[in-house]
Amino acid sequence: MNEKNATPEKEAALKALRDEFKGNAADTQRHRLAAALHRFAVSTIEARRYLDILHPAGRAKELRAAGLDIITLREKQETEAGVPHWVGLYVLRRGADAGSAT
């Protein structure tokens, strides 16, 4: 089971993206997630906690429809309550077009 949280550096970078792309409109959330995926693999928990995206699976689906090559892996992570859950880990395939899919 993967119980580790984001490193302090990753957490800070994700929060900076959240602050750069302000608002909760779906389009804004897609921009945040796309920007994060160009730097990191992002879990469901990290997207909710640090990027303020409450439905990461939906945003990832929309980004795929817009042309980004995102795969979803599964990993076990603990929530704040200390309960392990299987969550999505979103990964932008290397070499994927970074175009304006957001």
Predicted TM-score of the model (pTM): 0.86
Q: What is the pLDDT of residue 71?
A: 98
Q: What is the pLDDT of residue 94?
A: 76
The band of 1, judged by pLDDT with boundaries at 50, 70 and 90, is: very low
- Considering the domain boundaries, does residue 54 fall inside one? yes
Domain count, the chain: 1
Longest dimension (CA), the chain: 38
User: What are the residues facing 19 on neighbouring strands?
Assistant: none
What is the tens place of the pLDDT at every residue in 32-49?
999 999 999 999 999 999
First to last CA, the chain: 32
- Considering the domain boundaries, does residue 20 fall inside one? yes
- Token readout for 99 is 């175009």
| Structural domain boundaries, residue 24 | 8-92
- Considering the domain boundaries, does residue 102 fall inside one? no
Q: Is the pLDDT of residue 8 over 50?
A: yes
Q: Is the pLDDT of residue 4 over 90?
A: no
